[in-house]
Structure 1
């Protein structure tokens, strides 16, 4: 028989010991849907680059809505629903993104990782007619590496306040009050919360003032979003290998109605699926995958976003945008799926 040299045997043993087995897929029933469209791939090839999307709905012409997507190595893309690139801003190492219509402007906020020791928020204005992004400035968001971000607006007797929740890589969550009244934006940390380990995905349901955060190896948590709210989290679901297979990544809210109707969706990255929970009582509602069809499947999804409402013929009840971590032979991109198809697959109609 062939004998390997001692050095080769040692190298093989070391490699085998360092490799972690892939998580087993969930044993729970998992429905499937297919994507209706996909975006042009990001320019950064052969890297984990595309990460997180946000959706702006055009109320006058829903089919002309826009998607903002991050290339966390390079900057921000603006896409049409046809997946074509409308704009690119070389904002650098921006990881997650969110947007809000605030005081008549569409404000885009991204977690800025240019300085791993000090988090920042990169702010932009989106011209919805031209699909162009204009930088407004950077706002400090605390010590640590910026990871996740989501926006929250609170109506007060004197107006509307805009906040950004910045999730640091170590699980710290800073609530930053943003002031966009001057030429250069400013911010102030008004509250800090903490999860025990690495966290990233977050989303706010403005209807109930609830903040949801995904702790990657632990699961899904809920906080109060109001700046005077308690800071203790409430666990919704564990990364138990069934409902959620770690890592728990991107989060999205499919709001339906004025109250707390609708669903919370989390990327179950470990088995290329998405888990769904009822917002009304945090109960589990099912899981699904975006499988290969006219367009490819989604795998290893980081960021997701859902917007309900009419988005044209392909998306009559809403749209889901999901980062695709494996888009060979091209670089990573984002897939678009019909929310109506997802609800039908999960018998949520």
Structure 2
């Protein structure tokens, strides 16, 4: 071991602040990857997954290219269609009795947040635009959907870049969709990732440099946020980005967060939101992921490669090609983290 110079020893002795070290995370290999998006630099952002219960091999993955539009991919990662749209950021979808609705945060107008709605034609593997709807002042950023269990009403949550969260009621009963902002909530700083647990009616939001928060998703509920996990540099490293759910039973399972700062993914056990482990994507024939923004997870049988579920993650560095999305078997994640 080489001796340190005296000055270095002196500085080391004077140090009083320790820097948190992220907890080590096992590596899980990607099973497939999508065709790269069309535009360069920071372009791919957020995926959503539709599972074909009748024929899992024909399930679809949607992914945004926030500089060009939105893609539909096969389970093999092949791009099946592309819908041009300016500056769509996050996307989510719900299957409403056979009609699949996708909603994306629309940043084309940074002064007024919008939501773009689509129907997913699952047979043609194509998104059909339904309209673009203003939400309120500010720049739209995150987006997630909620189907209320009591009456199957559809709501969207638009996370604005300054931390405001606008809840919108989405009415699909007429010839044309209608959208109305029904309440607003607020976090202190820049936020983006969000996901709603349809079972419990709980909304989870990631405040990038602070941590994860929980709200009651019902529009009549208080707008108070409950802190559930901190950006601590060990289990979760800033920026905290995309969120996804692995539900189990009435209120159990896992909440998954993109720990973008150290290229990892952090799991929290529900309902108490306790730390359950971390993993990274890499180590296989397909390159790993880094700087991940959006993630998505859908449980169920997607065929032999994904017998228990499909996890999709944006890859911020897919060089020499442009950015894309990586697919991982949820069974492989569970095995790596020794989860039940």
Q: TM bucket by the smaller chain? A: over 0.9
Partners of 2:78 and 2:178 in 1: how far apart?
33
| 1:58-69 paired onto structure 2 within 5 Å | 58-69=52-63
Of the three residues 124, 128, 138, the one matched with 1:134 is: 128
CA shift, 1:184, in A, is 2.6
Q: Which residue of the partner structure matches residue 302 of structure 1?
A: 293
Partners of 1:155 and 1:56 in 2: how far apart?
19
Of the three residues 171, 177, 181, the one matched with 1:179 is: 171
Q: Which residue of the partner structure matches residue 268 of structure 1?
A: 259
Q: Which residue of the partner structure matches residue 287 of structure 1?
A: 278
Query: Are 1:152 and 1:164, in contact at CA under 8 Å, matched by a contact in 2?
Result: yes
Query: Are 1:138 and 1:185, in contact at CA under 8 Å, matched by a contact in 2?
Result: no
Describe the superposition over 1:54-103 as per-residue Cα deviations: whole angstroms up to 9, x where unpaired: 00000001121000000000100000000001110001110000000125
Q: Which residue of the partner structure matches residue 38 of structure 1?
A: 33
Q: Which residue of the partner structure matches residue 327 of structure 1?
A: 318
| 1:198-347 paired onto structure 2 within 5 Å | 198-257=190-249, 259-347=250-338
Describe the superposition over 1:166-217 as per-residue Cα deviations: whole angstroms up to 9, x where unpaired: 0000000000001122233221111110000000000000101000000000
Partners of 1:237 and 1:218 in 2: how far apart?
9
Partners of 2:176 and 2:200 in 1: how far apart?
31
Could you state the TM-score of these two structures normalised by the residue count of structure 2?
A: 0.93
Instruction: Provide the secondary structure at the position in 1 that maps to 2:232.
Output: coil
Q: Does 1:29 align with 2:24?
A: yes
Query: Are 2:291 and 2:316, in contact at CA under 8 Å, matched by a contact in 1?
Result: yes
Query: Are 2:27 and 2:283, in contact at CA under 8 Å, matched by a contact in 1?
Result: no
Q: Which residue of the partner structure matches residue 169 of structure 1?
A: 161
Q: Does 1:87 align with 2:78?
A: no
Instruction: Provide the secondary structure at the position in 1 that maps to 2:123.
Output: coil
Query: Are 2:133 and 2:179, in contact at CA under 8 Å, matched by a contact in 1?
Result: yes
CA shift, 1:329, in A, is 0.3
Q: Which residue of the partner structure matches residue 14 of structure 1?
A: none
Partners of 2:323 and 2:20 in 1: how far apart?
23
Partners of 1:105 and 1:347 in 2: how far apart?
37
Could you state the TM-score of these two structures normalised by the residue count of structure 1?
A: 0.90
Q: Which residue of the partner structure matches residue 16 of structure 1?
A: none
Query: Are 2:170 and 2:177, in contact at CA under 8 Å, matched by a contact in 1?
Result: yes
Partners of 2:22 and 2:104 in 1: how far apart?
36
Partners of 2:34 and 2:270 in 1: how far apart?
29
Partners of 1:132 and 1:308 in 2: how far apart?
22
Gaps of 5+ in 1: 1-23
Partners of 1:25 and 1:310 in 2: how far apart?
39
Instruction: Provide the secondary structure at the position in 2 that maps to 1:340.
Output: helix
Gaps of 5+ in 2: 1-18
CA shift, 1:28, in A, is 1.4
Query: Are 1:26 and 1:245, in contact at CA under 8 Å, matched by a contact in 2?
Result: no
Partners of 2:55 and 2:301 in 1: how far apart?
9
Partners of 2:324 and 2:92 in 1: how far apart?
17
CA shift, 1:256, in A, is 2.1
Query: Are 1:25 and 1:245, in contact at CA under 8 Å, matched by a contact in 2?
Result: no
Q: 1:25 to 1:183 in 2, by over 3 A?
A: farther
Query: Are 1:269 and 1:302, in contact at CA under 8 Å, matched by a contact in 2?
Result: yes
